[in-house]
Every structure is written in C-alpha cells, then in structure tokens.
Structure 1
C-alpha cells in the first residue's frame, strides 16, 4: 500500500492525495503532526531514495525542505549528523509529501511520473 507522509495544510500533500484518489489507487495518509515516521519507515524511505539519488547522503539532502525556517540548523552540520537531525525534526525539516510504495520505492515532493508506475 502507498503511504503519504505530510501535513493536511500542505498544498502538495493535498495534490498527492487527489492524484491517487483520481486513479483509484489505495493509499494511507499519515499526518506528521500526529505521528512521525518510525525509525524503520524513515530508514526504508532513505534507502529507497538513495537508489535514485546516488547514495544515502544525497537521499537525506533530497528529503530536506530548503525553504524551512529550521534549514539553517541543518545546512552546516557534518554529513554524518544530518540523517539523525532530519529524523528528529521531521515535521519542521521534511520536504512534503514523502510517498512510500512498500519498502522498496519512495519519492519526495511531487513526482507524478514515478507515481504513475505504482499500482
């Protein structure tokens, strides 16, 4: 099943939900204000993204919302600290939506071309 992580107020999260509804693709929406990703979920998203992005460091960078007010506290960290900082501050630092298709595929942001391949 497809999972969408984000917040109800985020425009792109609403658009992602609409995308899957229109195509009658079942999904689960997880509001980060109520429940953040577990360590296992977060790890599977980073692992799935690292295949597309070229590595874990690049995947973590892709997951970060560079427009966030908290970005300055993240930007100058050592690469070895960034993944933990992002996990601990998901609501404030994650670019939304984060969509996960099982444990093997994930996207961040609006990625309709990739979503179209998901069943």
Structure 2
C-alpha cells in the first residue's frame, strides 16, 4: 500500500484521515497543501478517479473571495496554481483516490 494524504493540518477531515491510518498501523505520506501542491501527474491520476467538481472546494473562503465572480474555465489549471482550492483530504492509494473523509472506501484498501 502506498497511501498519500494531501491536506491541511487545520482541516478536521484531514486530521481524521491521518488518525484512521495511524490507528490501523498503516504508513502514509502527508503532503501539506499550504507548502506544496499536487504535481500535474498526481492531479491527473486523482481526476481519473474523482469528478472535477468534487475536487474543487467551491464553498471555501478562497473560492468565494477570488473565483466565485469569475467562471473557472480550467479547474485543473486553477487547482495546480492554487492547491488551497482543493477539497481536503485527497487520499491516494496507487491509482485509487478519494476526496473527503471516506473510511468506508479506505477499509477496502486495507
């Protein structure tokens, strides 16, 4: 298993995702989106498993203040330029991926 958690330390669902894997003794890599975003390849891999609309956090402060008045034509490019627009956590296991707190799916991975 190669678990990656993309998230923000202040996000409650990200902390719950980390706790889920810690409690089961599963090693994971945490990528803090405030420091580093997803690569183009990682985002492409995730977008094959998750709808673009689910990846974009349209209820977040950043989207509301900067993107709401403009139509986001290329969601992928917007997410690459500003990873804080992602819904968190994004959890990857190889080619499989989820957005948000999804323990029912993660259990199937273990």
Is the structural similarity TM-score above 0.5? yes
| Counterpart in the other structure of 1:84 | 77
| Counterpart in the other structure of 1:2 | 3
Q: How many residues align?
A: 107
SS at match of 1:70: helix
Structure 1 runs of 4+ aligned residues shifted over 3 Å read none
The structure with the largest helix share of the pair is: 1
| Counterpart in the other structure of 2:100 | 109
Whether the aligned pair in 1 keeps the contact of 2:37 and 2:82 (CA below 8 Å) is no
Matches within 5 A, 1:1-119: 1-49=2-50, 59-72=51-64, 73=67, 76-77=70-71, 80-91=73-84, 93-102=85-94, 104-119=95-110
Whether the aligned pair in 2 keeps the contact of 1:6 and 1:98 (CA below 8 Å) is yes
Unaligned stretches of 5+ in structure 1? 50-58
Whether the aligned pair in 2 keeps the contact of 1:74 and 1:85 (CA below 8 Å) is no
- Structure 2 length normalisation: TM-score? 0.87
Cα deviation, residue 75, structure 1: 7.3
Q: C-alpha root-mean-square deviation of aligned residues, in Å?
A: 1.6
Unaligned stretches of 5+ in structure 2? none
Which stretch of the first structure deviates more once superposed, 6-15 or 62-71?
62-71
- Structure 1 length normalisation: TM-score? 0.81
